[in-house]
Amino acid sequence: MSDTTTSTLEGRTIAVLATDGVEEVELTQPRSAVENAGGTVRLISLRAGDIQAMNADVNAAGTYPVDQLASDAAIDSFDALILPGGTTNPDRLRQDSNAVAFVRDFVRSGKPVAVICHGPWTLVEADVVRGRTLTSYPSVRTDIRNAGGTVVDEEVVIDGNLVSSRNPDDLPAFCKVIVDVFADSPS
């Protein structure tokens, strides 16, 4: 339950859908924000084992253990979803029918979905941006418009159950907003 000073995510389980090529800070900072607010984070991916994160898309960073496969993930097990970017990560996710179905079902469920940087590519593939307003990395904006979405250039955009940010520079604001939105959503 939220109080006036701190949002709490105790008892909430948040899915992070990512694969090899994820931008490390876009994975680790939201994950830490959720865990620091008392939430549990589960890394969902395309294959078992570890995923390789990157810095600036081209420099290998840390590896992170996968908790569950997208093919086995059910939205009923989660209270919210985070879609980090990196160019390779969402490009791989949008080619996997299980990942796309998971994202589509999650958005349609009304549960909160937070997406940053290149992450909206997966939303575009899931056909859930039509009539929605969001922001993203500049190179993704044409894809959002072509899929029927409206793009704005703002630090954080909230449209219904979608929360979006442009790039890693927006992470402090993005992390604060997603914790608040996740805490305020029905569990």
| CATH code for position 69 | 3.40.50.880
pTM over 0.85: yes
pLDDT tens per residue, range 125-136: 999 999 999 999
Residue 137 lies in a domain: no
Residue 154 is assigned to a structural domain of this protein: no
At 90 the three-state DSSP class reads helix
Does a structural domain hold residue 93? yes
Catalytic residue among 117, 151, 156, 178: 117
Report the candidate in 49, 145, 46, 56 with the shortest Cα–Cα distance to residue 94.
Answer: 46
Tell me whether residue 175 is one of the annotated catalytic residues: no
Cα–Cα distance for residue pair 100/133, rounded to 1 Å: 20
Instruction: Kindly state whether residue 130 falls inside one of the protein's structural domains.
Output: no
pLDDT digits (tens, 9 = 90+) for 45-89: 999 999 999 999 999 999 999 999 999 999 999 999 999 999 999
Q: What is the dihedral of CA 68, 162, 174, 22, to 10 degrees?
A: 40
